[in-house]
Structure 1
Amino acid sequence: MARRSSVASGALLLLCCATWVSATDYSVGDSSGWKLDFDYTAWTSGKSFVVGDKLVFKYAASQHNVEKVNAAAYNACSSSSPISSDNSGQTTINLDTSGKHYFICGISNHCTRGMKLEVDVAESSPTSPSPPSSSTTNTTNNNNSGAGSLSPVHATVAFMGLVVLKLGVF
């Protein structure tokens, strides 16, 4: 029985570590989706968007669309020259660059009725390491621990999970 408990504990630690480093898929508007008269500014408050996350817009394809626009078009609710546009009913946007990203519904007055979203995307989460600069060569640390892009904290938790699985510590 103790062995089964240690396997479960180790697996749980490994699962927690994997969850920390995975990207997040955000369903825009949660269960309300992409619709008129919704406060998307309130929806973004308290959320931390990072490179690698995804925005999933769900909407009635016959009534709405999703247009990625620049800041000026966002502020003016102008869909005259979108960066990209989709009207499939479910649009997934990969947040692959840091900075501000702007989205509107380009149908008549939908943007002025609240169908606009601004997200500020951070380069990486506070617990993950920054990738090395391409102009910098690190010759002092060639330790290949197999931890990939895990932060020291995540690598430690993963290691502890493996120890628990191997030794049955708990």
Structure 2
Amino acid sequence: MSKVNVQIVCGILLILVLIQSISGHKVYRVGDNQGWNPNVDFKAWSARKTFHLGDVLEFNYGEGLEVQEVSAKVFQSCNHNGAVIFEDHSGKTAIPLRRNGSHYFICGVFDYCNHGMKLNITVN
């Protein structure tokens, strides 16, 4: 292979790597196979992940549960009355991560939040 061909191949590989890094957003299934359910350690689950702009959180859960995006204050207190940023009850919720910083999610049903059904992630 000539020097010019090697440079062309290297250039094409570099472009492909750049395209993959731009479009290589990940979809994270919250709670993995256990899903968005009570009795899952979401703090441990998120500790093993690195979240970036454009990644997507996929919440899978059964009837009678919900996903709420809330403020840090609501997250800490689990008091979601009137301070919900986003809420869904569909059973499968996909949330694209569109801003850097902390994101807070809880389940506002029953007392699940106080029993650990809450997730705090940071987008780098």
Q: TM-score range by the shorter chain?
A: 0.7 to 0.9
Q: Over aligned residues, Cα RMSD in angstroms? A: 1.9
Larger radius of gyration: 1
In the TM superposition, 1:1-170 aligns within 5 A as 17=17, 18-21=19-22, 22-60=24-62, 62-80=63-81, 81-122=83-124
What do residues 90-137 of structure 1 show as CA deviations (whole Å, max 9, x unaligned)?
011110000000000000101112110000001xxxxxxxxxxxxxxx
- Distance in 2 separating the partners of 1:31 and 1:19: 26
Larger strand fraction of residues: 2
| Runs (4+) off by over 2 Å | 16-21
> How far apart, CA to CA, are the structure 1 residues paired with 2:29 and 2:48?
15
Identity %: 39
List alignment gaps of at least 5 residues for structure 2. 1-9
Task: Identify unmatched segments of 5+ residues in structure 1.
Answer: 1-9, 123-170
Paired residue type of 1:32: Q
Give the AA of the match of 1:117.
L
Deviations 1:33-73 (A, max 9, x none): 0000111010011211011110000000x221000000000
**Which amino acid counterpart does residue 31 of structure 1 have in structure 2?**
N
Counting matched residue pairs gives: 111
